[in-house]
A = this chain, B = another copy of it.
Amino acid sequence: MPEPDLKHCIGTDRFAGHVGIELLDVQPGRATARLEITDHHLNGLGRTQGGAVFTLADLAFAAASNSHGIAAMAISVNIFFVKGTSAGAVLTAHAVEISRNSKLATYQVDVLDETGDRVASFQGMVYRKTPAKIPVK
């Protein structure tokens, strides 16, 4: 029986696609995603909108937390915004699993800009639906 095609399943995230986020890599318990900031990611003050940064981190979080083949729902997220960016920045989010049991798992997601500076620190928890395997596509 084949492994779930995780990258395909998470890759069909339409909202992330609408925002312009690319999922670069998924491994068990970790994932990386990327977003180039353009004008339509900016807020009313000309800076990258927090929701765009959050959504980038959230896609890496979703990919990492679903990487074991058990459907995982985000239940709690904390994000610190530590450096502002604007159009032209290239942001990368790296998600790593920091704990996991049968029902709950937690992830650290670091968002960096193209110079390697940290833009945001995101910490998320998921609830894992025990029987519901992600369907194999």
Contact = CB atoms under 8 A, between A and B. Distances in A.
A83 B48 CA distance: 28
Given A55-B54, A82-B104, A106-B80, A49 B125 contact: no
Interface residues of A, number: 55
A136 interface: no
Contact of A75 (B40, B80, B123): B80
Interface string A37-81: 001111111011111101100110010000000010111111111
Contacts of A16: 43, 49, 51
A43 B55 contact: no
Given A99-B83, A99-B118, A40 B54 contact: no
Contact of A71 (B45, B101, B127): B45
